Amino acid sequence: MHRIFGFLLLILSASVLAEGSISQGGIYLGTTRVVFNSNEKAAVFTANNSSATDTWLIRSWASPYEKTGKEVTEDDAVESFVITPPLYRLDPNSSVQLRVNRAGGALPEDRESVFYINVLAIPPKPKDAKGSVIQFALNTQIKLFYRPQSLSDERALVEAYGGVNVKLNGNTLMLSNPSPYYLTLTNIILNDTTTLTPADPMIPPFGSIAVESTVKSGTVSYQTINDFGGKTNKVSKAF
């Protein structure tokens, strides 16, 4: 899953043009998440411009993972990672490969860490605009996972997908993750009928999330999102 925020770029005087909008097409990323393996020098992903006529300017940086959905700017950039090129002119119908580089700073080696990658797309000024215009830049966020070399066992990761524990605590279902990996759940279904929607479906390493429930027993089924953005097989857990 990725998030998109709009930023007001420029307001000049009281004259605003509604016409001269950007032609159909725009910036999109080639993935919904990036995994940075600590034994590699960099992780890569692509930014694509699907417009046949418009040139966009893109800025890229990494920021802390925030659950609140607040807007972030380059002032929120973390020191742990640098994305290159940080600024790039993306011509019509073209792509660029962006590199996530480790820039220093200590991170846990016994569990994954998570951040956001931000790609801010700054639109061109409408060619037929006269006078002042209002423009918005769109910031697309995708998750960046830092995976220590000690967690590179793919079999252990696959086992973690099915290892969520479900326990009822009063009127609250606790979904716990005993693994060192971040697990993002989707299609969480109670007793094959009710869809559960936690505030944040991603369970941190050795952590848990809570979901309200009036049911005292039954089953919870779920899928997880894998490294490639796909869904794993459904798993059912009784409680």
117 with 161, same domain: the answer is no
137 with 157, same domain: the answer is no
pLDDT band at residue 126 under the 50/70/90 scheme: confident
What pLDDT digit, counting tens, does each position of 30-82 carry?
A: 999 999 999 999 999 999 999 999 999 999 999 999 865 667 888 889 999 99
pTM: 0.86
Token pair 């049911």 in the structure block, residue: 215
Task: Please give the Cα distance from 100 to 25 (Å, whole number).
Answer: 26
- pLDDT averaged over every residue in the chain: 88
Q: Which tokens belong to 226?
A: 């894998």
> How many structural domains does the chain have?
2
Mark which of 112, 132, 150 sits at the end of a domain. Answer: 150
91 with 184, same domain: the answer is no
Q: What is the CATH number of the domain that holds 196?
A: 2.60.40.10
* 42: alpha, beta or left? (left if phi > 0; alpha if psi -120 to 50): beta
What was the pLDDT predicted at 110?
97
Q: What contacts 195, CB < 8 A, 6 or more positions away?
A: 187, 188, 189
What was the pLDDT predicted at 140?
92
**Is residue 101 classed as helix, strand or coil in its secondary structure?**
strand
50 with 128, same domain: the answer is yes
Q: What contacts 230, CB < 8 A, 6 or more positions away?
A: none
Count the helices and strands in the chain (H runs, E runs).
1, 18
117 with 231, same domain: the answer is no
80 with 183, same domain: the answer is no
Mark which of 150, 176, 197 sits at the end of a domain. Answer: 150
- What domain range includes position 218? 153-238
63 with 99, same domain: the answer is yes
What was the pLDDT predicted at 70?
66
Mark which of 150, 169, 189 sits at the end of a domain. Answer: 150
What pLDDT digit, counting tens, does each position of 9-33 carry?
A: 443 322 232 333 334 468 999 999 9
What pLDDT digit, counting tens, does each position of 96-113 carry?
A: 999 999 998 999 999 999
143 with 161, same domain: the answer is no
